[in-house]
Amino acid sequence: MLGDAVFYGDVLATGGLDDRLTRGRVLRRAQELMADAVHAEHTFFSTCGSSLSVKAAMLAVAGPHEKLLIGRDAHKSVVSRLILPGIEPVWVEPSWDARLHLAHPPSAEEFERAFAAHPDAKGALITSPTPYGASADLRAVAEVCHRRSAPLIVDEAWGAHLPFHPDLPSWAMDAGADICVTSIHKMGSGLEQGSVFHLRGDLVPPKLLGMRADLLATTSPSALIFAGLDGWRRQMALRGRELMGGALELAAEVRAAVEEIDGMHVNDREDFCGPGRAHGFDPLPVVIDLDGLGVTGFQAADWLREHRSVVAHLTDHRRIGMQVTHGDDRETAGELLAALKDLARAAPGLDPAPRVEVSSPAGLRMPQVALPRDAFFGPAEDVPLDRAAGRVAAEMITPYPPGIPAVLPGERLAEPVLRYLRSGLDAGMYLPDPSDPALRTIRVVAGSGG
C-alpha cells in the first residue's frame, strides 16, 4: 500500500543520514537554517509533535512544585507536563465571549494580575493563535513577563505560517517571546509529528532546553520527519511570502462564498477581535458558524466526511473549521464550497440537533484544589457521573478537537461542566481520554468530599 520509497527513505539519523559521530552536522545545519528563516537564535526539531516540544519548554522554565502561569485554554499536552513533574499551575483566565461560547487568549492584564498574586511564578505560557485563529497581544504579554525577568513560552502550534507574510498576525519570536513551539504538520508542509521549538534571549539557556528535550525525545528519530521539517523551511525561505499571499487571497474568496450560503456565517475579525476579546486574527482557519442551519458542528462534520469526503479540522457544538493553506487552489476550494452547499441543502432532513448544554463562562470554571500530579497518581475511585459534582477529578476529560481539557486532575467537579460533557457526548462530541469512554462514571480522588 505504501510503496517502497518510504522504506528506502526511512534511514537512521545517526549512522545513516549522518555518520555515527554526526560529523556531517546534517541535523544541526538544518536546525540552524530553520532558526535563521524565522528570526530565532536556536531551533530544535521534534519528531514527537508539539506535545513533546511544549513539555520540553515547560521543563526548562519550571520544575517540581514550582509555579507556572498558564492560560486555562491550554492544550491537553500542557496538562500532561504538569502531571509528570508536579509543576503547580496558576491558571490565567482566557478572554471569554459569552455570546459565541468561545475562549480567546488571555490578555496581558490577566497575566499582570496573576504575577501580582503569585510573584514566585517562574514564567508564563500562552496559546496563540488558537485553533479558531484568534491571537493574543504577545508583545504586551512578553513585556509583563520580562519586567520580572520571567520567560514567556508561546504554544504556537497553529502558527507555523505566521513568519512568512506581513498580513498574518505577528509571530512569537518577533513579538518578544523566549520559547515558541510550532507544529509544522498543522499549517505547514511537514509530516505528522513534525514540530519545532525556537529560543531567543538569555532567560532560558539553550543547553538547558536541549537537555530537557532529551529527557523526552525518542532515541530513534525519523529522518523522514526531519526531512519534512527541512523541506518546509526551504520552501518558505524561498517562496513563503508568495505562497502565503496566495493562500490569503484564496481564503478571502472562500470566506465570501461561504457567507453567501444560507444558514452559514464565517467568523471574522469583527466576531473575534475587540476590547475583552482577541487581539489579532488569522483568516486561514475558516471557522463556520452553523447556528442558522440548526445543526451541530458534530453532525455537519460527520455528514461532510461520509457524503463528500471532506474533513473538518475543528468541530464544536455550533461550528466547523476548514483550513485553507498554501497547498490549496481553486479546485480544492471549489470542492469545499460544493460540499458546504450540499450540506446546507441536506440540513433540513437531518435529525434535530441534540442540545449541548453550554454553561456561562463562570459555570465552566472549577477551582483547582489539588496539584494535577497528586490527584492523577493518588488513590482514586470511579463514581457515577450524577454523583460526581463536588468530588475532585483524578483524570483529564478533553473534547477533541480542539483538545482543550474541560476537566483537569485536581479540579473540584461542578454540575454545569458535567452536564456540558454528558450532553456533548450524546450530541457526538469526541472524548478520547476518560477512563470510561461512555462517561457513565468518572474517576475521582478517593475520599474527596461532595
At 300-313, the pLDDT tens digits run: 999 999 999 999 99
Q: Which residues contact 7 (CB under 8 A, 6 or more apart)?
A: none
Q: Which amino acid is at 87?
A: I
- Interior CA angle at 445 toward 444 and 450, to 5°? 75
CATH number at residue 215: 3.40.640.10
Query: Quick one: which of 172, 60, 61, 197 has its CA closest to 123?
Result: 61
Instruction: State percent of the chain over pLDDT 90.
Output: 77
pLDDT at 99 over 90: no
Q: Is residue 2 packed enough to be buried (19+ CB in 10 Å), middle (13-18) or exposed (0-12)?
A: exposed
Average pLDDT, the chain: 93
Let me know whether 46 and 193 are in one domain: yes
According to the model, what pLDDT value does residue 423 have? 93
Measure the CA angle with vertex 174, ends 172 and 180; round to 5°: 30
* Nine cell digits for residue 406: 474541560
70 and 151 share a domain?
Answer: yes
Full strand arrangement of the beta sheet holding 195-199 = 42-46, 195-199, 179-183, 152-155, 124-127, 67-71, 88-92
Based on the domain organization, do 80 and 121 belong to the same domain? yes
Q: Is residue 450 part of a domain?
A: no
**Average pLDDT of span 444-450:** 81
Q: Has residue 440 got a pLDDT over 80?
A: yes
Q: What is the pLDDT of residue 352?
A: 85
pLDDT at residue number 450: 57
Q: Which of 233, 262, 291 is the last residue of a domain?
A: 233
**Domain shared by 56 and 162, yes or no:** yes
Taking 60 as the threshold, does the pLDDT of residue 38 lie above it?
A: yes
**Model confidence pLDDT, tens digit, residues 235-248:** 999 999 999 999 99
Examine residue 279 and state whether it is found in any structural domain, yes or no. Answer: yes
Query: Quick one: 95 and 162 in the same domain?
Result: yes
- CATH number, domain containing residue 387: 3.90.100.10
With respect to residue 354, please indicate whether it lies within any of the assigned structural domains: no
The reply to whether 32 and 168 lie within a common domain is yes
Same domain, 78 and 214: yes
Q: Which domain holds residue 379?
A: 361-445
For range 105-120, the mean pLDDT:
96
Q: Are residues 365 and 330 in the same domain?
A: no
Split at pLDDT 50, 70, 90, the class of 119 is very high
**For residue 181, is it within any domain?**
yes
pLDDT, tens digit (0-9, with 9 covering 90-100), for 263-316: 999 999 999 998 888 999 999 999 999 999 999 999 999 999 999 999 999 999
Residue 401 placed within a domain: yes
pLDDT of residue 324: 94
Q: How many domains does the chain have?
A: 3
pLDDT of 386 over the 90 cut: yes
Report pLDDT for 81: 78
For residue 431, being part of any structural domain is answered with yes
**Per the structure block, which three cell numbers stand in for 363?**
459555570
Together in a domain, 228 and 342: no
Residue 249 sits in a domain of what CATH number?
3.90.1150.10
Instruction: Give start and end residues of each alpha helix (H) in 260-296.
Output: 269-272
Domain termination residue (choose one: 178, 212, 233): 233
Collapsing DSSP to helix, strand or coil, 280 comes out as: strand
User: 43-64, pLDDT tens digit by residue?
Assistant: 999 998 888 888 889 999 999 9
pLDDT surpassing 70 at residue 325: yes
Q: Which residues contact 43 (CB under 8 A, 6 or more apart)?
A: 31, 32, 34, 35, 196, 197, 198, 199
Scored b (16 or more CB within 10 A) or e, 50-67 reads bbbbbbbbbbbbbeeeeb
Query: Are residues 107 and 209 both part of a single domain?
Result: yes
DSSP label at residue 171: P
Specify the pLDDT at position 368: 92
Would 287 be classed as within a structural domain?
A: yes
Residue that finishes a domain, picked among 195, 218, 233: 233
Say yes or no: 45 and 173 in one domain.
Answer: yes
Q: Is 433 contained in some domain?
A: yes
Predicted confidence at residue 353, as pLDDT, reads 80
Do 198 and 247 have their domain in common?
Answer: no
pLDDT single digits (tens) 337-356 = 999 999 999 999 998 888 88
Cβ atoms of 141 and 126 within 8 Å: the answer is: yes
